[in-house]
């Protein structure tokens, strides 16, 4: 597959219909990935990890023109995967999975982060307590004034936007979630509001919510002020 410099390809990967693909994905994994899959206490989670990583390799192989089991990955200081230098490719990607779905984003020119979360309908006050503990003051206040039945969606909107931003930088949770602020209303276009640690990101990083499977929330962060060409695919 061909990817233009300014394009971003988004892949939705169902993880609940494994079927005959599972063994093919097992065979495509590296030894390290197989060991990681085996360490999951819940076998279903291990199978989902295998399918997500195997699907990632299958997708990458379409862009690189090389078999999935020969793709080599390396990892940043905080664990963000990337293509090993041996591939000599500008292709950048990010993967996220939750519940029965994974999302993969690919681009050639800009660093990128993506997040998907399954919305769990617990007591909205539970998410308010989490917001108090982890989010910035402005984010907490915005969630707190939302109607009770909206607080859960506001929370997951905030969470996915923040996670996507952290993953764009490859930081995991090394930067506290309270260390920057995003808007939390799902009816508003997503955006960074405050980033004291990197003020330039207010001008150079774009956040965007993505179409999500029912019961999920998703967000994308990319090191570009504009998103010119988003292409959507579903992995089979």
pLDDT in tens, 79-110: 899 999 999 999 999 999 999 999 999 999 89
Q: What is the average pLDDT value for the chain, to the nearest integer?
A: 92
Average pLDDT over residues 213-234: 91
Where residue 50 falls among pLDDT bands split at 50, 70, 90? very high
**Residue 17 pLDDT level (bands cut at 50, 70, 90):** low
**Structural contact between residues 222 and 1, judged by C-beta atoms closer than 8 angstroms:** no
Break the chain down into helix, strand, coil percent, rounded to 5: 40, 25, 35
User: 145, exposed or middle or buried, with CB in 10 Å at 0-12, 13-18, 19+?
Assistant: exposed
Ramachandran region, residue 172 (left: φ > 0; alpha: ψ -120 to 50; beta: rest):
left
Q: How many domains does the chain have?
A: 2
86 and 133 co-located in one domain: no
* Same domain (yes/no): 103, 138: no
- Structural domain span for residue 40: 7-114
Tokens 């990197």 locate to: 198
Together in a domain, 210 and 130: yes
Structure tokens at 10: 């988004």
> Do residues 124 and 189 share a domain?
yes
Q: Are residues 26 and 100 in the same domain?
A: yes
Pairing relationship of beta strands 101-107 and 92-98 according to DSSP bridges: antiparallel
Selection from 61, 98, 48, 93 nearest residue 75 by Cα: 93
Q: Report CA Rg, the chain.
A: 18
Cβ–Cβ < 8 Å for 157, 127: no
- The confidence band for 19, taking pLDDT boundaries of 50, 70 and 90, is low
Cβ pair 190, 208 in contact under 8 A: yes
CATH code assigned at 186: 3.90.470.20
The DSSP element (H or E) to which 101 belongs, if any, is strand 101-107
d(CA 113, CA 81): 11
Domain boundary among 45, 80, 114: 114
Determine contact, residues 117/159, Cβ cutoff 8 Å. Answer: yes
Chain centroid to Cα 143, Å, comes to: 22
Distance CA 188, CA 79 (A): 31
Does residue 234 form part of some domain?
no
Same-domain status, 109 and 46: yes
| Model pLDDT for residues 134-152, shown as the tens digit of each residue | 999 999 999 999 988 899 9
């Amino acid at each position: 597959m061909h990817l233009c410099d300014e394009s971003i390809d988004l892949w939705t990967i169902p993880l609940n219909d494994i079927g005959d693909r599972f063994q093919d994905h097992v065979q495509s994994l590296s030894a390290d990935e197989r060991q990681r899959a085996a360490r999951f206490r819940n076998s279903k989670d291990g199978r989902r990890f295998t399918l997500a990583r195997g699907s990632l390799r299958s997708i990458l192989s379409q862009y690189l023109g090389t078999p999935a089991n020969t793709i080599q990955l390396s990892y940043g200081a905080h664990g963000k995967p990337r293509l090993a230098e041996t591939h000599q490719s500008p292709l950048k990607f990010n993967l996220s999975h939750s519940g029965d779905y994974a999302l993969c984003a690919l681009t050639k020119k800009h660093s990128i982060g993506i997040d998907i979360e399954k919305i769990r309908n617990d007591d909205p006050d539970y998410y308010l307590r989490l917001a108090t503990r982890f989010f910035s003051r402005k984010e907490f206040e915005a969630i707190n004034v939302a109607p009770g039945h909206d607080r859960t969606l506001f929370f997951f909107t905030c969470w996915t936007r923040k996670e996507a931003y952290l993953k764009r930088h490859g930081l995991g949770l090394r930067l506290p979630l309270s260390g920057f602020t995003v808007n939390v209303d799902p009816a508003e276009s997503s955006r960074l509001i405050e980033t004291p640690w990197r003020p330039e990101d207010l001008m150079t990083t774009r956040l965007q919510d993505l179409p999500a499977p029912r019961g999920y929330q998703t967000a994308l962060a990319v090191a570009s002020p504009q998103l010119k060409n988003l292409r959507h695919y579903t992995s089979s």
